[in-house]
Amino acid sequence: MENRFSSNLLVMFFLPLLIQLCATSEYTRPSPRQLIFRAHNRSDSEPQQVHVSLAGNDYMRVSWITSDKHVKSIVEYGKSQGKYESSATGESSSYHYFFYSSGEIHHVKIGPLEPSTTYYYRCGGAGPEFSFRTPPSTFPIEFAVVGDLGQTEWTASTLEHVGLKDYDVFLLPGDLSYADSQQPLWDSFGRLVEPYASTRPWMVTEGNHEIESFPIIYPRGFKAYNARWLMPHQESGSKSNLYYSFDVAGTHIIMLGSYTDFDSDSDQYKWLQADLANVDRKKTPWVIVLLHAPWYNSNQAHRGEGESMRQAMEELLYKARVDVVFAGHVHAYERFTRVYDNNANSCGPVYITIGDGGNREGLAMNFEDPSPSISVYREPSFGHGRLSVYNITHAQWSWHRNNETNAVIADEVCFDQRIGLGYGFPSHGLEIKVAPMLFRVPVGPTESDSTPTLKTRQSHLLLASEASVGLHHRFHLRTLPIHRRGTRRSTNTEWFDSVSCLDDPVLKGLAKKYKKT
């Protein structure tokens, strides 16, 4: 039978821990809202803590817990309420942590499933019916992004605001339950998020509050996290549940582990290298990374804690032209411009810290003053974010501050991955526009050009029929006429579904190859 706590016992047990945490903090936090503890109110054989996650192309994993150890790991599902045309079986396990014994934890992979489709399902052959909707197969797609969630009244407020507007996938960059070795809080967290996590896939990575290690007895940590929140690491070639990747509707999502080895000799580093090398920007033009400890942070909280990981891995993300990196850990919101190696760089990712989901420790109020030039917006408030990817070139990010009754958009930015190709000043050749900057490729008539350029005062530019820009799409650069005298022209500008940068090695190569003689 599952352990159950009274509210009085919870207060007596956790109050000293909260006092200790506040006393050892290096920064001042406001008073957090009250902890929420969800008790078990179903029969021992009925499913509880139900959540779903993506598990490979066209598959979902359904996870739940039963107090009864003999319930079968089976999921029945179909497209109509109460009519289950398909079923799948999986596996179950349990774990012990000191004097705590978990219920039976079930994981069942179901599919193949159709995109943008609502499925009704039942776990273990009995109990209530649940439903989820699969993500779309193509754009547009919307992600809800929340870090450092916890289980307080602020958590409930954040989740309520998230649920007021539809989304396709929930992304959580670490610090889920804040159980911190108090295992019944893992159960309470699972019950708290079930109304949301059972209806849309939740994709999570670990934070420091998931470690729960203990010398000699539990030296490797993550016992509860790995048992309860199984992610598609095997499907993505990872040896560990602490880091993995997945594709969904034109986006490639990489979940990195801040609390497992990440140096150049580590399994995670080698896996990340291989994963980025296998990204096909024709299929997934957007690449998004999530991790817990931020690499860029102007808050006084947790300064420098992600620095060693940044030094080890940042170049991999930069060369792969990752679009956005989300982090948690710092209990505030902050958005940086595109950055590489501590400097603004149009080729680098946008870095966003969103560790403000509702944790029990309160907010990180103190920021560096003055604000560094690479920090665009920062605010110590609880809230959530939304990333809406509209197509292969455009996406929109918005951060929603928690209010008593609604979520207020406090920060918003658009992403544009287009390349502009068109006429430039004829004497200087082709201009490749990368908003808001310009890369000029000097060119002259090519040997294959049959146009009598000297007589007509026109030349033709013939570049390679295909060119790879970083790791982004391939695109065609067709033969274009360039008037060698006259006014600037831009009427034939064409936009390509790709992105590039001023220091892109391919563009440098083109400039060298087609330099004017």
Indicate which residues carry an active-site annotation: 302
Alpha helices in 410-483 (DSSP H): 453-456
Measure the CA–CA gap between 397 and 161, rounded to whole angstroms: 16
What is the distance of C-alpha 379 from the center of its chain?
20
Residue type, 341: D
Q: State the maximum Cα–Cα separation within the chain, in Å, rounded to a whole number.
A: 94
Measure the CA–CA gap between 494 and 218, rounded to whole angstroms: 59
Measure the CA–CA gap between 290 and 294, rounded to whole angstroms: 10
**Sequence-distant contacts of 478-484: CB under 8 A, at least 24 apart:** 479/449, 480/421, 480/423, 480/430, 481/451, 482/423, 482/424, 482/426, 482/429, 482/430, 482/443, 482/458, 483/423, 483/426, 483/457, 483/458, 484/426, 484/427, 484/453, 484/457, 484/458, 484/459
The DSSP H or E segment spanning 133 is strand 130-133
Output the six-digit token pair for 373.
């030039």
Which of 5, 20, 9, 1 lies closest to 361, judged by CA? 20
Structure-token match 């579904």, residue found: 497
DSSP states of 161-227 as a string?
HHHTS--SEEEE-S--S--TT-THHHHHHHHHHHHHHTTS-EEE---GGG---BTTTBSS--HHHHH
DSSP states of 301-337 as a string?
TTTTTTHHHHHHHHHHHHHTT--EEEE-SSSSEEEEE
What is the distance of C-alpha 130 from the center of its chain?
25
Which of 58, 73, 62 lies closest to 230, judged by CA? 62
Alpha helices in 98-183 (DSSP H): 153-163
Measure the CA–CA gap between 276 and 266, rounded to whole angstroms: 16
